[in-house]
């Protein structure tokens, strides 16, 4: 298993809408194993494929309410869609492996009806609530090119602007490997 480098703001793949997976194969199974390893290696609770440079509609999630981090089993959600959102909302702090050092309170529907394919490509429909509902919404947003800060009010977003600039410049420290986009750095220096 490989720990894959994590793509950070403002790499274009993080604004891309994911491509559906049509069939499971050994290569994809190995990629899912790498994604799980990468998420754990970065102490994350979710990871979308575009965060490690793949355009496929795959995310790894875990339910942090279900027990100790080491004991909870992470799983892949493939081609996930939210079929309905609860009217009730909840507000919790979120972070993102692609936005190191940036955390903020995010308001989201408290529960969702979600549909996805599991690692055996069996269709799953379930009603999810609590932190898992939040994690799934965060990851499904990634697969649609959306960051958590897109959900903030304009004022809160403006307050995080300097953090985004720091991430974009690549001057953030992480204890997990980040993808270095040299081409983007050249563009940045020209500004």
CA dist 176 → 42, 43, 116, 151 (Å): 5, 9, 28, 26
* Residue (13 or 96) nearer to Zn ion, CB: 96
Largest CA distance in the chain: 48
Q: Does residue 45 bind Zn ion (CB under 5 A)?
A: no
Question: Is 139 labeled as catalytic in the residue annotation?
Answer: yes
* Residue (51 or 181) nearer to Zn ion, CB: 51
Tokens 């809160």 belong to 156
Report, in Å, the least distance between residue 142 CB and Zn ion: 6
Q: Does residue 57 bind Zn ion (CB under 5 A)?
A: no
Report, in Å, the least distance between residue 47 CB and Zn ion: 8
Q: Does residue 136 bind Zn ion (CB under 5 A)?
A: no
Report, in Å, the least distance between residue 182 CB and Zn ion: 23
Q: Does residue 152 bind Zn ion (CB under 5 A)?
A: no
Closest CA to 178 of 165, 168, 163: 168
The span from the CA of 131 to the CA of 66, in Å, is 9
Q: How many helices (H) and strands (E) does the chain have?
A: 5, 7
Q: Does residue 96 bind Zn ion (CB under 5 A)?
A: yes
| Active centre residues (catalytic) | 139
For binding to Zn ion (CB under 5 A), which residues are involved?
Answer: 96
């Amino acid at each position: 298993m490989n720990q894959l480098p994590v793509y950070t703001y403002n790499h274009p793949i993080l604004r891309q809408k994911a491509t559906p997976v049509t069939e499971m194969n050994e290569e994809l199974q190995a990629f899912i194993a790498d994604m799980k390893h990468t998420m754990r290696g970065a102490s994350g609770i979710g990871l979308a494929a575009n965060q490690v440079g793949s355009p496929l509609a795959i995310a790894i999630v875990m339910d942090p309410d279900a027990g100790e981090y080491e004991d909870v089993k992470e799983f892949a959600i493939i081609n996930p869609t939210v079929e309905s959102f609860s009217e009730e909302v909840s507000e919790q702090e979120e972070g993102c492996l692609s936005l190191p050092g940036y955390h903020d309170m995010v308001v989201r529907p408290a529960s969702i009806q979600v549909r996805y394919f599991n690692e055996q490509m069996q269709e799953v429909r379930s009603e999810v609530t609590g932190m898992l509902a939040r994690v799934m919404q965060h990851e499904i947003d990634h697969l649609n090119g959306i960051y958590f800060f897109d959900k903030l009010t304009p004022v809160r977003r403006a307050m995080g602007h300097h953090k985004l600039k720091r991430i974009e410049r690549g001057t953030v420290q992480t204890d997990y490997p980040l993808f270095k986009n040299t081409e983007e750095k050249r563009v940045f220096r020209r500004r």
